[in-house]
Structure 1
Amino acid sequence: MVNTDTSEQLWYEKVVNASVAIGAIGYGLHIAVFYTAVSGIFKARDRAGALKWFPLLFILFSLGTINIAGSLRFNQVAFIDQRKYEGGPAAFFSAEQSNSGNVAAVATSIAMMVFADAFMIYRIHTLGKRVVITAVAAAVLVASVVMSGFHAVELINENSSSNLKYSIPYVSLATILNILITLVMAPRLLELRRQISISQDPTRAKFTNLEALVVETAFPTGLLSLIFIILYGFQKVGSLLFLPLLVQVMAIMPGLIISRMVRGYAWSNDVVGRLRNPSSSIGRTVNGDFPQDVVTLNDLGNDPKSVSNRLA
């Protein structure tokens, strides 16, 4: 991607430096989302049920922290500590992929991909109940994990770090999976949105607004993945601008979804099940008032135990 032309080298170095700065902005958003989700967990009606999501949030946040720290460290070594490296920072980035900072960044990005995509595949299965689609997505995830393992071995091996033949299949599979997840989730959520929009449930706006569609389809991850894979396919250096940000966004989206879950505004088995039941009391009103025995979608999301008691 980089040739010996000085202007090309300078452009490459500017892009790499800027990409880490953009990734740091993404990490700042990650901090905010992590705080919001954790606060929501401890404020949830069913705190015990909500706490099951805390380990995932903590793991993703920890990985995101190590990831951006590793990227910043790799940049520091290239631009400051090894400023006199023959060929400059561009040559250093190409030849020293086995640097500990870069290895930490790559390893954590792989782990974040596994946890974040596994969570999204779980959501696909929960809301769609289509074994074939779930199996295909899971197979792509397994394939990307295998390729990422080979890629990690290449990074550790200093003799091959400048010729990473597994980086393209790993990156391609990982980004294609993100796009696939969005493409699968979008029509399903649009169908659920259509079903709930005809009800009179007072909380339905929380399930049908733009925020719900964007967050629960993981649209930002899919969009960034699409932009990245197109630029990467055409071997454009500009593709690197999106990589550190994409890694953080992959962790941010599960945090946003969990935040909606604990507040009772995320699609779930309970909500979908009630929509399938024509005799459901969801959203029924009497003379414009909301009766005491009506179970709202908000209740279903917040406190499944109390809801089952009220339905019994």
Structure 2
Amino acid sequence: MADMSKPYYGPVEDQATIDIERFFLAGDYISGVGYGVQLVLWASCALYLWKQRQRGKKTTLLLCYITLLLIVETIFGIVQARTVQVIYIDNRNYPGGPWQYFLDTQSLAINVMFYATLFVITFLCDLLVLWRCWVIWNASGLYIAYAVTLFPFILLIASFAMGTLWTLQSSHPGLSMYSKEPLAFGTAYYTLSLGVNIILTALIVARLLMYRGTHLEHLPPEHAQQYLSLATLIVESAALYSCFAIAFLVSYALNKPINQIWLGFAQAAQQVATYLIIYRVADGTAWTKKTMSTAALTSMQFNTKNGSDGKRRPGGTATLQLTMDSSRTGVDAVEDVEAPELGEKEK
């Protein structure tokens, strides 16, 4: 049989360029899926917050915050979709291929918006995790909360400055996020941003585990499941983002094409984690200073029963609900419905 070779209709670029184009498209798809998830979470959070808008300024601020986050993410999604169209459809025959066109046109408005929106989204999400860390540690005292969050706050400011430089350098004519200088700024920026998230994640998890170790054995099962589960630790600390951000940072610093995949996951995961935190805040299940300082401990049952004379004797049931406030000493006993009969028995 004659050897019939199959004609090649693929690109003429080198394998590294082809790989990064493949991962770029895959990353765009992941971002689109992530946007769909975020849209559903935004609607859920907005509905909760809107119903509770009369409760105070914090509810209104959170509603404005998630709306701003959605607007910026929508702009990012539009820009990313438009970028794919421009490089793969409008300029597919550009010398060196579509990816070379992308690298050569970083100063175009569409690419500047790509970097700017990505930077703003990351900063807004980092800011929320910092706030949650402060809220959780505030149960230990205001000054302790400030002391614990001071270093992450300084790192956040540093990452903001470095991110601004990265955005400007990446969008400079003749440069891109993969050029030598922008790559150095970008690595420094994401290292700082990731460092902030890792530190805040560790601080939040540590504080919750401290509380868990102290009170888990005294809490009712439903209370423990709601506030001290593994899912709670992951959501409250935004650990979901940190995992994907580490993968992106390593692959980006090594200039590996797969960094586009991890960037799509990290960008989506960070906002999903943010919405999950706000959902817990709106739903009333998020950790607050009151949650950390006050917890139901247990209930006590006393058996009593009616005797032949109609008076209570051991065998019936009465319940005492004990609550503990860690800001005070002692235990307050709140009597249940049958408590008056206990008083009668004591007489």
Alignment TM class, shorter chain as reference: 0.7 to 0.9
Q: Which ranges of structure 2 fall in alignment gaps of 5 or more residues?
A: 1-11, 138-143, 302-316, 326-347
Q: Which ranges of structure 1 fall in alignment gaps of 5 or more residues?
A: 276-281, 297-312
CA distance in structure 2 between the partners assigned to 1:44 and 1:294 by the alignment? 28
- Structure (1/2) with the larger strand percentage: 2
- Structure (1/2) with the larger helix percentage: 1
2:18 maps to which residue?
Answer: 10
CA distance in structure 1 between the partners assigned to 2:212 and 2:48 by the alignment? 24
1:226 maps to which residue?
Answer: 246
Q: Give yes or no for contact 1:74–1:99 (8 Å, CA) kept in 2.
A: no
Deviation at 1:145, TM superposition (A): 0.8
1:151 maps to which residue?
Answer: 166
Matched, 1:205 2:225: yes
Matched, 1:185 2:193: no
CA distance in structure 1 between the partners assigned to 2:111 and 2:14 by the alignment? 24
Secondary structure of the structure 1 residue equivalent to 2:118:
helix
CA distance in structure 2 between the partners assigned to 1:177 and 1:151 by the alignment? 17
Match for residue 131 of structure 1 among 134, 146, 149: 146
Secondary structure of the structure 2 residue equivalent to 1:265:
coil
Deviation at 1:14, TM superposition (A): 0.2
Max Rg structure: 2
For 1:265-304, what aligned pairs fall within 5 Å after superposition? 265-274=285-294, 282-287=296-301
2:305 maps to which residue?
Answer: none
Distance 1:291 1:117, change over 3 A: farther
Q: Identity of paired residues, percent?
A: 22
Once structures 1 and 2 are overlaid, which stretch shifts more, 8-17 or 241-250? 241-250
Cα RMSD for the two superposed structures = 2.7
Once structures 1 and 2 are overlaid, which stretch shifts more, 24-33 or 249-258? 249-258
Q: Deviations over 1:106-152 (max 9, x none)?
A: 11121112221111111112222343431111111111111111122
CA distance in structure 1 between the partners assigned to 2:287 and 2:248 by the alignment? 29
Once structures 1 and 2 are overlaid, which stretch shifts more, 158-167 or 249-258? 158-167
CA distance in structure 1 between the partners assigned to 2:259 and 2:172 by the alignment? 25
Match for residue 190 of structure 2 among 171, 175, 179: 171
1:215 maps to which residue?
Answer: 235
Secondary structure of the structure 2 residue equivalent to 1:198:
helix
- 1:66 maps to a residue whose letter is I
Deviation at 1:43, TM superposition (A): 4.4
Q: Deviations over 1:184-221 (max 9, x none)?
A: 22222222223341233443311122321110110111
Distance 1:293 1:232, change over 3 A: same
TM-score, normalised with respect to structure 2: 0.75
1:254 maps to which residue?
Answer: 274
Q: Give yes or no for contact 2:201–2:238 (8 Å, CA) kept in 1.
A: yes
2:117 maps to which residue?
Answer: 108
